[in-house]
Structure 1
């Protein structure tokens, strides 16, 4: 009786093992291939990191205006030209597109402009007139090009010795210049400015000429700036010109001989800044006055309806003008266009509140 009692548990264990094995096979058949319990878990394939978005081009600062401009927009040279200011030469073409305008005394008590374009170059500019002895000192810091109609040989030689590309009406046979039929000679020479820029596009852009600040750069107490509604300037006994502050447009509006000064577009001639420099006049060339542009002297900056007094200096022909307030603080201009009035010591400058 003892034998059967001992074998019965063994049979039960064998039956249970067989049943478990069968169940495992059944599960495997229903669920596909069985995985080993010791196999490492599978991982999802690593996703590639997204490429960083390209940064938009950063705006540039126009060197002759201090204004923001699209990247790459300043990568071209400046174009300067001698522009006539005789009564028969008015209205001039392209003055309000200019970045910087120098007004200088010429013979007979008249004035003439040396105008520099860079941020915007009009299709045409003019009337173009002859060069004067101070012009190499004014244009050299800009590099680029200068256009003029000729001049006394000594003055032409001086300009051609300057490190700028000379575009001369008297020597040109390529069609860069033409005479405007509706204008009286010699106040009728017009330059194809767009074509001049295309031909010389590989020249480097100009370096900055002034330091720029806020739209109201003279509001700090150290400048002791005084409110100014009108600027009256005299280069000689005749030919008065004036600037009036227009708060609505944040611009100085120009007059000549008591009448609004208009350009060919019909717009009033205007500027963001008016820089008045008291200069000496050299009479080495007889009837042709030479503005002494290298040196130092008295200066005024008029911007945003205020005027600050100070000094100007220009260390050499290839250096720009530097402006400092009476306490030695550097003077910054408001971003925008600038007229530089080179008023002779014998002339006058008045700033009315």
Structure 2
């Protein structure tokens, strides 16, 4: 349960010594060898010349967990896919997953594609890796790879080895050209204007509840997920490392959802002037915006940039160098401080100003119709 979170000392990770970086970096230019999606140095600068890969990674059923490779992705988008489930569109750009004893691990499990993937793909100038898609979705996607599974009877059987991912990146480089995903600003210095934001409770559904708990010793948020029963929670780890997910930034984006059917949902992500965003970093919450509006870059290059983040004054919001997990919710989703409890109904209905425990109570898209 959330109250049984492990001591922060159990989540320690080891990173290689990296050259000093003069922060801030971005949003328009970055020092050589700095990944523009996480603001950190890469081991192999040549990896930044290969296009981003957008992997559709499952979070349901619970047998999909723990997933493999999440801790190596600079950027992860979590979106509601209907039927009470969310799914991860996981961006692999720059250094790819590897462990001390395996430099060619499997990433996954990979699941089907969704309509909104195409918008994010365009923004990143990348390609999608999925395990097929419905007849309503497939025609709307471009630059995708359908992963064949060696275990068709296993819902979690579709996985991709790093060597095969590297080969796909080389293949799509010829079609997409070298990427340039500029637009994000990174700075370890904590911006002014934050409030206590050490905990987030986000229920996409009663059986899809997420907790983010801030670990002050490591400056990261740890993710807990219910076991599809609304009562029992476990901390999510990366099966490649056996370590908890440690996320430097959690961004909650309020986005217009278009529901055609119960599990056929699109997102309005392109050419958006600005929409509300909540940023969680360093145990604090900040208000701001996200934008994909066309500016001089789009006019001169003919390409798009990733979703960009702004503070309340319209200036680039500084993310903490490291991973960013983007939670996408509907515009109607209410946000308030609540009490610390495991009782869903108390969390959903009680407010407690000043607690630093933020409820982001997902409201399902309007006009959702049963699948035909």
TM-score (norm 2): 0.69
Task: Give the equivalent residue in structure 1 for 2:53.
Answer: 79
Flag structure 1 segments of 5+ consecutive residues without an equivalent. 1-57
Task: Output one character per residue of 1:310-350: Cα deviation in whole Å (capped at 9) or x when no partner.
Answer: 12222379442122222223212111111010022344545
Contact 1:273 1:333 in 2 (8 A): yes
Give the total of aligned pairs: 279
Give distance in 1, aligned partners of 2:49 and 2:190.
Answer: 27
Give distance in 2, aligned partners of 1:315 and 1:65.
Answer: 21
Give distance in 1, aligned partners of 2:285 and 2:117.
Answer: 27
What's the secondary structure of 1:276's corresponding residue? strand
Structure number with bigger Rg: 1
Give distance in 2, aligned partners of 1:128 and 1:297.
Answer: 30
Sort the Cα spacing of 1:319 and 1:213 in 2 relative to 1 into closer, same or farther, 3 A: closer
1:273 positional shift? 0.9
| Larger displacement relative to structure 2 (127-136 or 257-266) | 257-266
Contact 1:215 1:304 in 2 (8 A): no
What's the secondary structure of 1:197's corresponding residue? helix
Give distance in 2, aligned partners of 1:330 and 1:236.
Answer: 32
Give distance in 1, aligned partners of 2:265 and 2:332.
Answer: 12
Task: Give the equivalent residue in structure 2 for 1:148.
Answer: 130
Give distance in 2, aligned partners of 1:282 and 1:242.
Answer: 26
Sort the Cα spacing of 1:59 and 1:310 in 2 relative to 1 into closer, same or farther, 3 A: closer
Give distance in 2, aligned partners of 1:277 and 1:242.
Answer: 16
Task: Give the equivalent residue in structure 2 for 1:309.
Answer: 287
Runs of 4+ in 1 over 4 A off after TM superposition: 348-352
Give distance in 1, aligned partners of 2:68 and 2:308.
Answer: 29
Task: Output one character per residue of 1:210-264: Cα deviation in whole Å (capped at 9) or x when no partner.
Answer: 422321342x3xxx21132111212234411011111222211111123211221
Pair 1:259 & 2:228 matched: no
CA RMSD of aligned residues (A): 2.4
What's the secondary structure of 2:260's corresponding residue? coil
Flag structure 2 segments of 5+ consecutive residues without an equivalent. 1-30, 98-103, 227-232, 295-302, 338-354, 357-372
**Equivalent residues in 2 for 1:1-353, closer than 5 Å:** 59-69=32-42, 71-86=45-60, 87-122=62-97, 123=104, 124-160=106-142, 165-169=143-147, 177-179=149-151, 185-201=154-170, 203=173, 204-208=177-181, 210-218=183-191, 220=192, 224-257=193-226, 258-265=233-240, 266-294=242-270, 295=272, 296-315=274-293, 318-350=304-336, 352-353=355-356
Contact 1:234 1:348 in 2 (8 A): no
